[in-house]
Structure 1
Amino acid sequence: MNERDFADLAAGHALNALSDADERAYQEALAGNPHWSSHVRDAADAVAAIADTVVPVEPPASVRASLMARITDLPQVGASEPEPERNSADLEDYAAAGPAPVEPELEAVAVGPSAGSGWGLRRWFTLAASIVAVLVLGFGAVTIGQQLTRPASLVALEQVTTAPDAQSATATTTDGAVVTAHWSASTGQSVLVTDKMSALPSDKTYELWFVRDDTAIAAGIFTTDADGKATAVLQGEFHSGDVIAVTVEPAGGSPDGTPSSAPVVAVATA
């Protein structure tokens, strides 16, 4: 058995997916090659990482049935014609043969499958069993993908609202829009969440500002959806006592970096 084959067995062992014969081969190869133990740790860490990121969910029976149906379609040794006559040594499973004698300096065990030993087929079954085991761990992989592709604004909002010093304040515009500012001095982040903001023509945009010591500091532009909803992260570091304001500016933002109109809403954070 070479090191790559052992790594495959280590993965199957970590998933409890080895046959009895392959488990024996795995244990014997590990005993003869303790320097391969890194593969054992890597496989165990990988399985633990998967288990920690998904919620256990039993996959639909149709998935398991479909997978096992595919396995049965694989060529089986001796399924269509008798195997050639072999002597007793050839018939012995390589895993039961045990490791070859080694020198005291622990050179690699050179145990390997003989022709027609079925190792390739066993590897297919180990792989299939591993896939089933991962499926049983949960279809939470979809959830993981969703987490990884979440908009940056929602990630920032979660970071702000879960900070130990998270604070928020809400203001209402004259036309009934509801605007909530969330901020955290410890993280230096702030996020504005809007609802029912008025739709703007294509040549206009909303712009965010930090009003600090009577100075307006541009903090980015944003647009809303059809319902006037938006989650906008203010660019730049939030300071305690800032007023978070919104103005209507030309598309692309204020050309000179200062507000060109009175704020449509302003939220005090002090």
Structure 2
Amino acid sequence: MNEQEFAELSAAAALHALSPDDERRFRTALAVHPEWRRIARADAEAAAALALPVPPVTPPRDIRSALLSAIADAPQGDRETASAPPAPTPAAETRDRTDDGGRDAASRPHSSAALPQDTPAGDPQPAPRERRRGLRILFALAACLVLLVGIGMGATALSSYLNRPAAVVALEQIEASGDAQQAEVPVAAGGSATAHWSASLGRAVLVTEGIAAPADGQTYELWFVRGDTAVSAGTFSVDDGKATAELRGEMKAGDAIAVTVEQSGGSPTGVPTSDPVIVIPTA
């Protein structure tokens, strides 16, 4: 038995799927080749992982098609060569024609000397190749289940990362830039506001902590203040006093960042209709 044949039996043994004969071959091979215990141990650990309880999760939508595609593209072994009988050598053909007055060699009794000389004494005889292959595929599918469980457990975290709000992504990009700056101011009604910006990116994000939500029918509106001109930069809402809002449009050098309270949807005139509740200079 070679190592590949043992690995096929080991996979099925880990799943308790061996026949009595195969179980005997497996145990004998393990005794003759103790160095193969690492294979059996790894298969047993993989099979044990299948029994571990995991919280229900939803794997990525395309994982099934990706897995099936990988299985379809994987090499399928030596099916054709295993099913075809080996071609006789010229010496064997001559011997078959001449031995015992031309009688067919298949009619002669077989001798134990015809056994392969490289079969180690004490090794069990190999199981049929197709059956062993089937057992290995069975374990491979089980291992795929373990992989899917692992992917599923990380799917929620991965989904949360990929679906981050645009303002959070913008804040990360600003903080990663070489010229990132920030300034914090207290809010008169309570809480604080911090502006993050990058001149090279031309982007700014406002982060609030502990500020009051506007009254019904009202919203906060962001502004770039350039000298005597206020340029609307979008509206935002707060959740439990917290907000992370990216200012819409390109920030210019020297702009101040301001926030006013406007009617829902923003100022109808395009200019502030109330005094700012937050002003953060950037110059």
Which residue in the other structure is 1:241 paired with?
254
Amino acid at match of 2:82: A
Other-structure match for 2:50: 64
CA deviation after TM superposition for structure 1 residue 127, in Å = 2.2
d(CA) in 1 for partners of 2:153 and 2:48?
Answer: 14
1:123 matches 2:130: no
Amino acid in structure 2 at the alignment position of 1:64:
L
CA distance in 2, matches of 1:137, 1:249: 46
Task: Give 1:99 deviation, angstroms.
Answer: 8.6
Structure 1 stretch 167-176 or stretch 116-125: which is displaced more?
116-125
- Structure 1's 239 and 98: CA in aligned 2 closer, same or farther, altered over 3 A? farther
- What is the one-letter code of the residue matched to 1:203? G
Using the alignment, how far apart are the partners of 2:250 and 2:220 within structure 1?
A: 19
One-letter amino acid of the counterpart of residue 198, structure 1: A
- Structure with greater helix percent: 2
User: What residue is the counterpart of 2:198 in the other structure?
Assistant: 184
Q: Which runs of 5+ in 2 are unaligned?
A: 9-44, 54-77, 87-127
- Residues 20 and 163 (structure 1), Cα distance of their counterparts in 2 relative to 1, 3 Å cut: same
* TM-score where L is the length of structure 1: 0.57
Q: Secondary structure at the match of 2:266?
A: coil
SS of the residue corresponding to residue 65 of structure 1 reads coil
Structure 1 185/129 Cα, relative in aligned 2: closer, same or farther at 3 Å? Answer: same
Equivalents in 2 of 1:170, 1:202: separation in Å? 27
Q: In structure 2, how many angstroms separate the alpha carbons of the residues matched to 1:100 and 1:258?
A: 88
1:144 match: secondary structure? helix
2:4 to 13, 17, 20: 20
CA distance in 2, matches of 1:121, 1:162: 51
Gaps of 5+ in 1: 1-18, 25-58, 68-92, 102-113
The answer (yes or no) to whether the contact 1:94–1:117 under 8 Å persists in 2 is no
> What one-letter code is carried by the residue in structure 1 that aligns with 2:260?
T
Q: 1:143 to 1:258 in 2, by over 3 A?
A: same
The correspondence of residues 90-169 of structure 1 with structure 2, limited to 5 A, is 94=79, 97=82, 117=131, 122-133=136-147, 139-169=153-183
Residue pair 2:224, 2:232 contacting (<8 A) in 1 also:
yes
Runs of 4+ in 1 over 6 A off after TM superposition: 59-62, 98-101
* Contact 2:193–2:209 (Cα < 8 Å) also in 1: yes
* Secondary structure in 1 matching 2:50: helix
TM-superposition CA deviations, 1:149-173 (whole Å, max 9, x none)? 2222211111111211100001112
Tell me how far apart the structure 2 counterparts of residues 120 and 61 of structure 1 sit (CA, whole Å): 17
C-alpha distance in 1, partners of 2:166/2:249?
15
Q: 1:63 to 1:149 in 2, by over 3 A?
A: farther
Residue 106 of structure 1 aligns with which residue?
none
Which residue matches 2:277?
Answer: 264
Whichever residue aligns with residue 229 of structure 1, its letter is K
Contact 2:46–2:146 (8 Å) recurs in 1: no
In the alignment, what sits opposite 2:268?
A: 255
Q: CA deviation at 1:244?
A: 0.3
Give the percent of matched residue pairs that are identical in Structure 1 and Structure 2: 47
Q: Where does residue 229 of structure 1 map in the other structure?
A: 242
Q: Is the 8 A contact 1:212 1:243 kept in 2?
A: yes
CA RMSD across the alignment? 3.7
1:48 aligns to what? Answer: none
Q: Which amino acid aligns with 2:51?
A: A
For each residue in 1:38-95, what CA deviation from the matched residue of structure 2 results, as whole angstroms up to 9, or x when unmatched?
Answer: xxxxxxxxxxxxxxxxxxxxx999742269xxxxxxxxxxxxxxxxxxxxxxxxx848
Alpha-carbon distance in 1 for matches of 2:84, 2:227: 78
Structure with max Cα Rg: 2
2:190 touches 2:212 (CA, 8 Å); kept in 1?
A: no
